[in-house]
A and B are shown apart, each in its own frame.
Chain A
């Protein structure tokens, strides 16, 4: 398996622009997680899905952030409008229920820079 795939790997945009980050989970995994990593705040869980349904979005910082999972093999995280403080590395991870380990597999991340 190719693992979790994220695109783009790097994104540089200007403040106020819309940004869309994409994630393809590992095939067969039914949980998908979006994280944000910064030096100041560490790793933060933004939102997670189970069987394409959002379960907990309490980590989404504000209404400018939205996430969707239209099918089992694709998810997006959108920021509109973007702000410089959104600059971070965004990770997507997936896992599979029913397996006791509950191990999450992380994608390579998208490094977002908002100028």
Chain B
């Protein structure tokens, strides 16, 4: 069985500062890892994914994520946050030995002007 943990309920940063949203996972096989963003009254939007290869993955809107197998982490990062990045962010994992896509509880990001 797989699981995902997002240890921070909320992350607050000033505009222009770097943004990091943390995610750790547990799988029995190898992971496929995903980040989604959710704006108010909207569905989840796909940001990026890690499948294999380069540990640094680049995605939409200037976001990137770093896969760390030894720490079983997949933290989302953005070098310079914008006020418009304020939203709810979800990490998700699929185990290559399974098929279910499991989500973390989410992290609310607030970027202040």
**A is bound by B:** no
Interface residues of A (CB under 8 A from B): none
Interface residues of B (CB under 8 A from A): none
